[in-house]
Amino acid sequence: MLSASEIMQLIPNRYPILFMDRVDELKPDEAIVATKNVTINEEFFQGHFPGNPVMPGVLIIESLAQAASILILKSEKFKGQTAYLGAIKNAKFRQVVRPGDVLTLCVKMVKQRSNMGIVSCEALVGDARACTAELTFIVAPTTAA
């Protein structure tokens, strides 16, 4: 549904901190499903961990946050703005993510208010849950640096 270049039109993340390859499904104000192909070429595998490459949990959360940002910013009331991560609740890591895995990022809108959103998230490898969390976002106008 959205390619990497279309994703970059919505969120400010760029290499090496863009952790989404495509958006597979999108229902604005409801849910998003996106894909992150995990490859051995990722820079973080050089140090996490040599001889035992594991995707850091914080980067799994970042991948979910990027998918959530797209979901939030596709809402008519938040178009053209930036979504900032405000809180992470109940994050649980259930399975390691390794090179060669395909991370499916599933995000559902829980609540929207004037300038914020709460989403429930899960990252899957196949049918197995790698991570679950609830994320809170604050949405603000985009400012130039």
Q: Indicate which residues carry an active-site annotation.
A: 48
Q: Show contacts of 38-44: CB within 8 Å, 24+ apart.
A: 38/97, 38/98, 38/99, 38/100, 38/101, 38/102, 38/103, 39/99, 39/100, 40/99, 40/100, 42/99, 43/16
Closest by Cα among 87, 138, 135, 134 to 116: 138
